[in-house]
Structure formats: C-alpha cells, structure tokens
C-alpha cells in the first residue's frame, strides 16, 4: 500500500510542512524510524475517543518538535507574537495546514480509530480576523472538534475543543480546554 507521501506503509514517513506565514513554500521532511515508532506508541488499540484526542494532542506536539528541529520552526511563538519575517514563525494558515497534514498522516497510517479527519475550517467574526483550524470528527458521536495549534508555541500540545465553541471565538485556555466535549479537562478521559 502506498500513501500520499509515496512511502510504503510501515516505512518512516516523509511529509510536507509549512515553515512560514501562509505556507507559500512548504518543505518536505523525513522522520526517522525511531521517531515514527514513538508516535505510533501514543495510539494503543482499544483506547476510547477521549484518550485518542489526548494522543492526538501529544502526537501533534511531538511532530511539531521533530519538524521544528529540521526546519527552524522550533522558533515559532504563540499566536502571531513573532514578526511574520522571523524565520520559522507560523500564522494560523500554516499552523492549520501542518496540523491537518499531521492528522492525515495519523489517519493514513491507521492510528486514528475513533476519529476521521475533515477539511480545515475558517471563521471570520470580524472583517479582518480570519482564523483557520484543523478539524476531526468523532466517529461514534459525530461530534466535530477544532484542533488548533496556533495559540501555542512550537511543540506544545494543540487545543482541541468542540468546533461550535471554536466557531463562536471562545478562546481555549490550557486548564479548561475540553477533550471530551463535555467540560472534562484536557488531560482527562471519558468513559466512551
């Protein structure tokens, strides 16, 4: 089986990553076998949906860290705190493309068993305030979640919150970001 990255299943993946605002010039990176196996270990079979969302957060954080070391995006600061001209600084467009790419990789490799990856979404609460996010959908419940790494620095686990809350512009906070969609704190799991 060949994946869209052109590698046989099981081989360490190579993938495109954004390295600057708007993702005008993505760079292809290749993960080592050890790095990829570390990602795979985050997704044990049989985990409930909430635990899989926690694993998604950890995997994206790890993939950002690995990509950052290879591309210079380790310099990426939260939100748009860095200057767009700063090497490695990403905006929400680039962050959402990277998160979507990472999610697609996890799905292609069979690691997402409780969720599917949906197209990225944008919101525009004010005329000049567009914002983008990656999106997943829980298979059993149909609930959709924003997976948003823009709020945080490179290598920090992205926020996962119900897509409707994200669309309304509700700002996630590290201590209150919900994974279960029902107010359960980010590190907790629910009894799916």
Percent of the chain past pLDDT 70, that is, above it, reads: 75
Distance CA(190)–CA(168), nearest Å, equals 24
Report yes or no: 163 and 172 within 8 Å, Cβ to Cβ. Answer: no
Q: What are the backbone angles phi and psi of residue 162, rounded to the nearest 5°?
A: -55, 135
Q: 106: helix, coil or strand?
A: helix
Q: To the nearest 10°, report the CA torsion of 79, 85, 90, 93.
A: 100
User: Rounded to whole angstroms, how far apart are CA atoms 54 and 115?
Assistant: 12
**Which residues have a Cβ under 8 Å from the Cβ of 127 and sit 6 or more positions away?**
none
pLDDT more than 90, % of the chain: 52
Task: Give mean pLDDT in consecutive 10-residue pieces for the chain, a chain of 192 residues.
Answer: 46 86 90 94 96 97 92 71 71 91 96 98 76 96 95 90 91 52 38 30
Alpha carbon distance 80, 131 (integer Å) = 11
Q: Give Cα separations from 87 to 42, 49, 149 (angstroms).
A: 30, 36, 18
Record the pTM.
Answer: 0.84
Instruction: Encode pLDDT of 18-48 as tens digits.
Output: 888 888 889 999 999 999 999 999 999 999 9
């Amino acid at each position: 089986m060949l994946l869209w990255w052109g590698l046989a299943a099981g081989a360490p993946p190579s993938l495109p990553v954004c390295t600057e605002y708007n993702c005008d010039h993505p760079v292809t990176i290749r993960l080592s076998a050890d790095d990829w196996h570390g990602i795979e270990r985050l997704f044990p079979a049989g985990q409930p949906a909430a635990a899989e969302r926690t694993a998604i957060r950890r995997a994206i954080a790890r993939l950002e860290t690995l990509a950052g070391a290879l591309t210079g995006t380790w310099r990426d600061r939260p939100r748009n705190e860095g200057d767009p001209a700063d090497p490695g600084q990403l905006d929400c467009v680039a962050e959402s493309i990277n998160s979507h790419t990472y999610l697609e990789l996890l799905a292609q490799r069979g690691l997402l068993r409780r969720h599917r990856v949906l197209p990225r979404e944008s919101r525009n609460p004010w005329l000049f305030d567009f914002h983008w996010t990656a999106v997943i959908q829980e298979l059993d419940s149909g609930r959709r979640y924003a997976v948003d790494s823009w709020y945080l620095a490179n290598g920090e686990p992205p926020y996962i919150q119900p897509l409707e809350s994200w669309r309304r512009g509700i700002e996630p906070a590290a201590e209150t970001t919900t994974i279960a969609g029902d107010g359960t704190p980010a590190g907790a799991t629910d009894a799916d």
